[in-house]
């Protein structure tokens, strides 16, 4: 039953619940009233019986004082002869031991002396002054007998209340039927009122359901109840919310267009930034070929470096084009990649009279993606070179500590600004325009699931330590995601 009720819509459950509560309340209050009236009727019957015994006792007192049984019987017989309203069936006088002294009985209940005397059980138990028994009521009163009698006597009257019982039963059924009908009417009225009060909610729910996946539509003005100011205000507030939502959606659309344009600009700047450095290294290698091309060792090193630079350019291009189609087999980092990064930064370092050194103790391959690590190290080295004074040294270190690759960039500059250091460490670029390299560093570290620490050395300069998990599943997603491209 509860499961069936819970499946009903809320707009139907609430009115039904209100109707049921009203019905139960009406039935309960009527039943209480019926029970209260029944108790009052019994009390009235007892008072009527005692009033009857008042007159009978007054007539019996002389005969009781003389202990005249014949006179007692005569009084009881005359009492049976006349009745208005309540019909008496049997009258009797008994002594303290319960023995019958005198009695009178109507002929239609047996006549004559009638059946053997059997006082009511409540009288024998010494209980109250009344006992109801199947359409009749027994009432009694204790009276003094003649001198010498053993204790007081008792006048007992058996009154016929069949008419009262029938009337009470008929009244009870009438009240019950009226109660059910009245309760049903009240429940129906409560149901309709609850449905009427829920109309604005139902109307708004319908609009929200119809607008699923889209913006909610305002409710038409003709559907707003003019006779109910509070509900009208409620629906008008909903309409204002729907209009504001539409305005916000339009504004968000304009912001998306602006952001797309900004992303394209940042992407172009990223490509220019990442491609310029390999091209600078290639230009340096070409210059080496022109000056030392006759030397086989220099020529071989320069040609190999040009080849690796072209490969790096190809990787950056592929990573940009495949923002949503990551490759399944990204190349692992090799020791040679660290030396390549040094050579890529060498062009800028040479113009600033800064030396870049590599101190790496790594195996042939390390389980981290080479492209992302190269980009990250290149940005760190370029920032370190630009922060170092002429004649200074920038050191790139690499160590493998169990399943963590530790990469360190140490410069001899004036130290990194506190705000930029916090941005790189926390992974949240500082507000304003911190520079393209800082944004790229933050995004690449986040992509590689690494951790960065920035410390200023006492002898001057900055020490940046990068810890990357080796063999991470995210490390070999390949290429740059859309977020990386945005950087």
Give the pLDDT score at 323. Answer: 43
Residue 451: both structure tokens together: 């951790």
Contact 360, 396 (CB under 8 A): yes
Determine the average pLDDT of the residues in 72-78: 85
Rounded Cα–Cα distance for residues 467 and 399 (Å): 10
Give the pLDDT score at 148. Answer: 53
The 10s digit of each residue's pLDDT in 317-337 is 765 564 434 444 568 898 888
Q: If DSSP codes are grouped into helix, strand and coil, which group holds residue 239?
A: helix
Rounded Cα–Cα distance for residues 442 and 449 (Å): 11
The 10s digit of each residue's pLDDT in 99-149 is 788 888 877 655 444 555 666 766 766 656 777 766 677 888 777 765 555
The 10s digit of each residue's pLDDT in 268-306 is 765 676 677 778 778 888 888 888 878 888 888 888 888
**How large is the greatest C-alpha to C-alpha distance in the chain, in angstroms?**
167
Rounded Cα–Cα distance for residues 296 and 293 (Å): 7
Q: pTM for the whole thing?
A: 0.38
Neighbours of 467 (CB within 10 A): 17
Neighbours of 174 (CB within 10 A): 10
Q: If DSSP codes are grouped into helix, strand and coil, which group holds residue 48?
A: helix
Q: Which residue has the higher pLDDT, 200 or 448?
A: 448
Give the pLDDT score at 172. Answer: 77
């Amino acid at each position: 039953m509860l499961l069936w009720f819970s499946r009903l819509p809320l707009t139907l459950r609430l009115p039904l619940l209100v109707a049921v509560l009203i019905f139960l309340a009406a039935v309960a209050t009527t039943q209480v009233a019926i029970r209260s009236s029944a108790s009052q009727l019994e009390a009235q019957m007892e008072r009527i019986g005692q009033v009857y015994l008042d007159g009978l006792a007054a007539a019996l007192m002389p005969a009781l004082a003389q202990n005249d049984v014949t006179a007692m019987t005569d009084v009881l017989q005359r009492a049976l002869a006349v009745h208005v309203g309540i019909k008496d069936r049997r009258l009797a006088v008994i002594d303290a031991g319960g023995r019958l002294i005198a009695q009178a009985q109507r002929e239609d209940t047996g006549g004559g002396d009638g059946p053997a005397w059997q006082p009511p059980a409540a009288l024998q138990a010494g209980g109250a002054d009344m006992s109801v028994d199947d359409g009749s009521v027994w009432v009694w009163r204790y009276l003094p007998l003649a001198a010498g009698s053993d204790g007081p006597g008792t006048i007992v009257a058996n009154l016929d209340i069949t008419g009262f019982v029938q009337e009470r039963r008929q009244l009870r059924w009438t009240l019950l039927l009226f109660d059910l009908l009245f309760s049903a009417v009240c429940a129906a009225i409560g149901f309709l009122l609850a449905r009427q009060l829920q109309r604005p909610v139902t109307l708004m729910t319908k609009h929200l359901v119809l607008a699923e996946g889209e913006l909610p539509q305002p409710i038409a003005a003709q559907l707003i109840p003019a006779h109910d100011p509070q509900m009208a205000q409620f629906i008008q507030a909903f309409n204002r919310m729907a209009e504001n939502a539409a305005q916000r959606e339009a504004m968000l659309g304009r912001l998306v267009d602006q952001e797309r344009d900004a992303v394209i600009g940042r992407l172009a700047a990223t490509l220019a930034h990442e491609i310029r450095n390999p091209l600078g290294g290639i230009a340096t290698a070409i210059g080496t070929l022109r000056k030392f091309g006759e030397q086989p060792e220099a020529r071989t090193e320069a040609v190999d470096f040009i080849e690796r630079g072209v490969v790096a350019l190809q990787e950056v291009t592929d990573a940009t084009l495949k923002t949503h189609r990551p490759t399944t087999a990204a190349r692992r980092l090799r020791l040679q990649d660290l030396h390549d990064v040094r050579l890529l930064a060498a062009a800028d370092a040479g113009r600033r009279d800064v030396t870049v050194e590599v101190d790496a103790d790594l195996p042939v391959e390390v389980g981290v993606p080479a492209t992302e690590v190269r980009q990250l190290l290149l940005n760190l080295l370029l920032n370190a070179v630009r922060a170092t004074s002429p004649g200074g040294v920038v050191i790139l270190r690499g160590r493998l500590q169990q399943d963590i690759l530790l990469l360190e960039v140490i410069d001899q500059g004036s130290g990194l600004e506190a705000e930029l250091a916090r941005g790189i460490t926390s992974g949240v670029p500082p507000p304003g325009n911190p520079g393209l390299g800082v944004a790229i560093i933050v995004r690449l570290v986040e992509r590689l699931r690494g951790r960065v620490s920035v410390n200023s050395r006492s002898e001057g300069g900055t020490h940046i330590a990068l810890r990357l998990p080796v063999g991470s599943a995210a490390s070999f997603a390949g290429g740059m995601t859309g977020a990386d491209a945005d950087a």
